[in-house]
Amino acid sequence: MSEKPRLTYINGRGRMESIRWLLAAAGVEFEEIFLQTREQLLKLGQDGSLMFHQLPLVEIDGMKLVQCRAILSYIAGKYNLYGKDLKERALIDMYVEGISDLMQLILMFPFSPPEAKEKNIATISEKATERYFPVFEKVLKQHGQDFLVGNRFSWADVQLMEAILAVEEKVPSVLSGFPQLQAFKTKMSNMPTIKKFLQPGSPRKPPPDENYVATVMKIFKLD
């Protein structure tokens, strides 16, 4: 039996959360190592474990993978969540890249100053409802299928589900004008692996708080 993937990051969402989502959606159990000091990060770099001296780090199949996109595409390919051919893979890549642009706003939100948070929430809402969610609403409506690509569960579905829930935490009514996405969210929430990941006690991390922000600032020396 192969070893479980091992994820090294901070005890919080950040750039590792999409990786946790994808592994969980694929039904893959994993182990986590949480860094708490800058010294631990520097030691990983000195040991040669971090190719570009950056996290996240995922150890899987005898490899030490860094760079989120490389990690996610490897996991998607390994667990048959990356389409059946090059055309489907191109669609999945395109959708994932678009969702990643939206998620970048969510990722940076906890680090914005208090006086900017209201404006940033408005920006997230505007981008979600005017640029990104209409695309996926249209895709689902046009082909009338449960999933975004090829009528089968893929990395793009997982990433979209993660984004929907992340935006809803900031803007609870964000899906009010998107009936297809509302139905999509319900279907995804009831998929056994995702349903399990959404339960309390799963590896899913809570929204970032002040402690998470302080830990990130300390470890990555961002202050």
pLDDT per residue as tens digits for the range 157-194: 999 999 999 999 999 999 999 999 999 999 999 999 99
The answer, yes or no, to whether residue 64 has pLDDT greater than 90, is yes
The token pair that represents 207 in the structure block: 């929204």
Span 199-214, average pLDDT: 93
Question: What's the rounded Cα separation, in Å, for the pair 180 and 196?
Answer: 23
The answer, yes or no, to whether residue 222 has pLDDT greater than 80, is no
pLDDT at 1: 47
The token pair that represents 17 in the structure block: 């959360």
On the 0-12 / 13-18 / 19+ scale of CB atoms within 10 A, 191 is: middle
Q: Does residue 31 contact residue 6 with C-beta atoms inside 8 Å?
A: yes
Report all structural domains of the chain as residue ranges with CATH numbers, in order of start.
4-77+196-218 (3.40.30.10), 84-189 (1.20.1050.10)
- Residue 62 backbone dihedrals phi, psi, to 5 degrees: 80, 5
Span 123-131, average pLDDT: 96
The token pair that represents 131 in the structure block: 């640029």
Closest CA to 21 of 148, 212, 166, 181: 166
For 6, the enclosing helix (H) or strand (E) is: strand 6-9
User: Mean pLDDT over all residues of the chain?
Assistant: 94
The answer, yes or no, to whether residue 128 has pLDDT greater than 60, is yes
Task: Please identify which residue in the block is written with the tokens 């793009």.
Answer: 156
pLDDT at 105: 94
pLDDT at 145: 87
Model's pTM, two decimal places? 0.95
Cα angle 71-219-64, degrees, rounded to a multiple of 5: 25
Span 97-123, average pLDDT: 94
